[in-house]
Amino acid sequence: MILEELSKLKTHPTADELYVIVREKLPKISLGTVYRNLDQLSAAGTIRKLEIAGKQKRFDGQVNRHYHIRCTKCDCVEDIPDEEMTEIDRKLSEIIESMQFEGYRLELNGKCSKCSRKR
């Protein structure tokens, strides 16, 4: 149920936010169960855990390579359209191959689409 609900979302929820959603369908589920399952799903590579120092972890049901922008105003996380990152992705992939890195994580910071529309 946790994975199912996370997969429906585009909002990259925190464990607490996902707990509220899942609890509507499974009223007896505990917050600890949600946290444990999210950690296990993340460790297995089934979901992505988005971590940044000093911020609450967020979770993403999409595991394909894509990038995020974290809003500096409301702290939400949004996907960045792939077409906007194609050249950066190509360059980073070349660096990884030439230097034998195992991977990378890139997160941009700025205002989300909602906050950038507000004045």
What's this model's pTM, rounded to 2 decimal places? 0.79
Q: Taking residues 90-115, what's their average pLDDT? A: 80
Residues 48 and 89 in one domain: no
Residues 4 and 50 in one domain: yes
Task: State the pLDDT at residue 37.
Answer: 97
Question: Which residues have C-beta within 8 Å of that of residue 3, sequence separation ≥ 6?
Answer: 37, 41, 46, 47, 61
Residues 17 and 31 in one domain: yes
Number of domains in the chain: 2
Copy the structure tokens of residue 119. 């004045």
Copy the structure tokens of residue 8. 């429906």
* CATH number of the domain where residue 112 is located: 3.30.1490.190
- pLDDT of residue 97 exceeding 80, the answer is no
Residues 52 and 76 in one domain: no
Which pLDDT tens digit goes with each residue over 48-74?
999 876 688 999 998 888 888 889 998
Domain range for 84 is 65-119
3-state secondary structure of 59: strand
For residues 117 and 119, give the distance between their C-alpha atoms in angstroms, rounded to a whole number.
6
